[in-house]
Structure 1
Amino acid sequence: MVKQRIFYYDVLRAIAILGIVFCHASVTFVLTGVDNPTFYISAFFDCLRDFSIPIFVMLSGALLINRKDSLGDFFKKRLSRLFIPFVFWVVISIIYSVVYLKHSFDISNALDIFFGKPGTLGVAFWFIWMIVIVYFEIFIINRLIIYGSGKRENFEKVFITLLTVLSVIYMTLSHFGILGHYSSNVLYFMSFITYVIIGYFISHYDLVGSRVSANKMIIATLLVSCALYGYYIFGFVVPKSIQANHFVYKGYFNLLILALSVNIFSLFKYLSKTKYLMNIEDKTLGKLFITISKYSFGLYLCHYMILNLIKINLIGIYRNQNPLLWIPILVILTTSISLAILGILNRIPYLDRFTGKS
């Protein structure tokens, strides 16, 4: 049986991956200095990542929590889909680094790319290791739900609600610096389970029910999302960056980013209950969202290398130009070329396994 896609999940996934591409396309402009009069434009685009990663993780929770797969089935499906395309694009990135960028080849450089070390072509690959750890946590939660559901009626709802409350408490403690710094990457990656739980809760439960119309919730979540992001950029990022004389932004574990991510996720959930999304699902824009969503993982894996190639060849054209024009151009070029490559690979037997298509 063909699994039915949830269109608003596709839209959120497409927006999230584009937000990450926008971030990486903006880096060159952000680093030109906070005294640049166009800094706020670069910061606006760069910080799209700050809710995009949480939304990606929230979607994992929406889709994977409360699954009844066995340990073997769960990880065979999840890890094979992760690592087969991941290893392929790691190898391609290493080859590109040596052949095109003329970097010397050694095991240390290769491992840096493999493990997602900042400053390498694998800078985005940290996400893979975070997701692997999160998958283990999701499996444990699923087994607890199965066990508890056999002991008590409505256990799943009570358990998820409790985990959601604990997740918000964790975010609050992180926001006020009570938890301090993470002592290792493993602990940092484990903390993303909070977004997984919150994503499942938002997608499966409706606190307002029929008491408030979907149209009113759309207006409310849209206004709050715009207000929160506007405050984040112009009330925090820009002034703090100017004060520190370098680019400053928040991490993922604070109440502002949580509220922003939750409102954006909720906005599209309520849009899915109206005609707004239904009217575009079968049209060109809707099909584009679905295509980007299907290839989002492959796009995540290959876009940074493609963007690097584009920047090298166009640097003489876009350097010192208006970021309001050139960041979107870089995003469009990167996304288009990446999707074209992934689409070609998807048509070739055996190579189609490397696209990460869902």
Structure 2
Amino acid sequence: MSKRDCGIDMLRFFACCAVVGLHTFTKGTTLPSTVVYYTCGFAIPIFFMSSGAFLLNRGGVDYSYVAKKLCRLLVVLVLWASVISVSFVLGKLMTGVGDAASVVSVFSSTLLGSLFQIGLLSHGWFLWALGIVYCFLPLLSNLSLKGKLSTFFLFAAFGGVLHALSCVAGFPLESYIPQTFRVWIWFEYFLLGGLLYPLRNKLIIPHMGTALIVTNIVAVAWQMFAGFYLMPEVAGSAHAEYFYDGLPCVILCAIIFMCFINLKTDLKLWVYLSSLTMGVYLLHMFVVRVVGHFISLSDPVGASGVGFTVVLLITFCVIGFLKKCFPKIYELYCEV
């Protein structure tokens, strides 16, 4: 674990791009946009897998380490909620609406809203979910291989049954639980990453490229079929988040993960790009809102890649500039 794994860095970069894709490509508008949207569904599971790969195999994890990680996550959430709240209130003041005293209430609702995936920092749920997983890290890391396997299959079975019930019920049952608290999914992928990582260079899937293409086609086809016909939401086809605990997504993420951790690369570019991913994740939704005023992400052009490209380039450039020119600010806001 002492040597940097550029395969994981590359994987995190592409997962970060996929997160942006989930929020810019629009399902149900055009066939290409819908296909790309569901193809990006591997993003969040891969982030948990990459974290599990390192944290479950590093050894010496105790609650003091967990406490430091939790404090860091909370600091980042508080800082982002503060900036967003002040910016929001200033915007209202400039238009003659609201007053400066409302900063505290906006901050409270923003920070609390991030826990429940609502409000101005709704995508902050990911940090809360990661924090919940961290709380159990010493326990998980001390499990035997058999214990980790048993726990993984327990969570996978629960998720698979719930996903099947959603298809039968005709509605994604997971939607009743905010993503923060869908812990069976996050533990499942966290454990899967930790279990697969020691098998790099040992478990080689024959014709891995072909396997990746085939599993991706199957997973996307299943999501489109089930999302439109078996468990559609009121507003249309089901979001990608409701397929994370389905078997096709689990198999796809496992194969993607194995493909990347078996890559032989030491290109430092991937290390650099990977270091920007958390900042890009935290900033990109605000860039989406700004870009959305100029490019309609629901029309065939915007939904087919223009909006995605613009948002991705702007966000990476801003975070890269921040890291180079204001490293202390970058460290405070973007490193967890």
Tell me which interval the TM-score lies in, with the shorter structure as reference length.
0.7 to 0.9
Cα displacement string for residues 69-96 of structure 1 (whole angstroms, at most 9, x for unaligned residues): 33113321x2243233332222122223
* Alignment-derived partner of residue 149 in structure 1: none
How far did 1:241 drift? 8.7
* Alignment-derived partner of residue 336 in structure 1: 316
How far did 1:324 drift? 1.8
* Alignment-derived partner of residue 121 in structure 2: 122
* Alignment-derived partner of residue 253 in structure 1: 245
Distance change (3 Å), C-alpha of 1:118 and 1:243? closer
Distance change (3 Å), C-alpha of 1:188 and 1:247? same
Query: Is residue 15–residue 44 contact of structure 2 (8 Å, CA) maintained in 1?
Result: yes
How far did 1:159 drift? 2.1
Is 1:111 the equivalent of 2:91? Answer: no
Among residues 62, 70, 74, which one is paired with 1:79 in the alignment? 70
Distance change (3 Å), C-alpha of 1:243 and 1:114? closer
Structure 1: segments with no counterpart, 5+ residues: 146-155
* Alignment-derived partner of residue 166 in structure 1: 154
How far did 1:243 drift? 10
* Secondary structure of 1:4 counterpart: coil
Query: Is residue 345–residue 351 contact of structure 1 (8 Å, CA) maintained in 2?
Result: no
Structure 2: segments with no counterpart, 5+ residues: 167-171
Aligned counterparts of 1:108 and 1:49: Cα–Cα separation in 2: 35
Cα displacement string for residues 166-204 of structure 1 (whole angstroms, at most 9, x for unaligned residues): 233223222222996587657523541111111111112
Aligned counterparts of 2:153 and 2:298: Cα–Cα separation in 1: 47
Is 1:354 the equivalent of 2:335? Answer: no
Query: Is residue 296–residue 357 contact of structure 1 (8 Å, CA) maintained in 2?
Result: no
Distance change (3 Å), C-alpha of 1:82 and 1:346? farther
Paired residues for 1:1-358 under 5 Å: 3-26=2-25, 29-30=26-27, 34=28, 36=29, 38=30, 40-66=31-57, 67-76=59-68, 78-100=69-91, 104=98, 105=102, 107-115=104-112, 116=114, 117-118=116-117, 120-142=119-141, 144-145=142-143, 156-177=144-165, 185=178, 187-189=181-183, 191-205=185-199, 209=202, 216-232=206-222, 234-237=224-227, 246-250=236-240, 251=242, 252-270=244-262, 272=263, 277-278=264-265, 281-282=266-267, 287=269, 289-312=270-293, 314-315=294-295, 320=299, 322=301, 323-344=303-324, 346-347=326-327, 350-357=328-335
Cα displacement string for residues 115-160 of structure 1 (whole angstroms, at most 9, x for unaligned residues): 3255532120111111111101222222x43xxxxxxxxxx22222
* Secondary structure of 1:177 counterpart: helix
Deviating above 4 A after TM superposition, structure 1's stretches of 4 or more consecutive aligned residues are 101-104, 178-187, 238-245
* Secondary structure of 1:120 counterpart: coil
Aligned counterparts of 1:169 and 1:241: Cα–Cα separation in 2: 19
What is the identity percentage for the equivalent residue pairs of Structure 1 and Structure 2? 18
CA RMSD of aligned residues (A): 3.3
How far did 1:309 drift? 2.3
Query: Is residue 7–residue 290 contact of structure 1 (8 Å, CA) maintained in 2?
Result: yes
Distance change (3 Å), C-alpha of 1:173 and 1:234? closer
Query: Is residue 20–residue 52 contact of structure 1 (8 Å, CA) maintained in 2?
Result: yes
Query: Is residue 226–residue 232 contact of structure 2 (8 Å, CA) maintained in 1?
Result: no
Aligned counterparts of 2:175 and 2:237: Cα–Cα separation in 1: 21
* Secondary structure of 2:139 counterpart: helix
Q: Tell me which amino acid in the other structure corresponds to 1:128.
A: L
Aligned counterparts of 1:174 and 1:243: Cα–Cα separation in 2: 16
Query: Is residue 44–residue 233 contact of structure 1 (8 Å, CA) maintained in 2?
Result: no
Distance change (3 Å), C-alpha of 1:301 and 1:231? same
Distance change (3 Å), C-alpha of 1:241 and 1:333? farther
Aligned counterparts of 1:243 and 1:81: Cα–Cα separation in 2: 36
Distance change (3 Å), C-alpha of 1:100 and 1:163? same
* Alignment-derived partner of residue 150 in structure 1: none
Q: Tell me which amino acid in the other structure corresponds to 1:134.
A: V
Aligned counterparts of 2:46 and 2:199: Cα–Cα separation in 1: 17
State TM-score, norm by structure 2: 0.80
* Secondary structure of 2:311 counterpart: helix
Distance change (3 Å), C-alpha of 1:168 and 1:297? same
Query: Is residue 89–residue 302 contact of structure 1 (8 Å, CA) maintained in 2?
Result: no
Aligned counterparts of 2:220 and 2:5: Cα–Cα separation in 1: 29
Equivalences, count: 318
* Range that drifts further, 93-102 or 8-17: 93-102
* Secondary structure of 1:121 counterpart: coil
Distance change (3 Å), C-alpha of 1:253 and 1:60? same
Query: Is residue 23–residue 49 contact of structure 1 (8 Å, CA) maintained in 2?
Result: yes
Distance change (3 Å), C-alpha of 1:258 and 1:318? closer
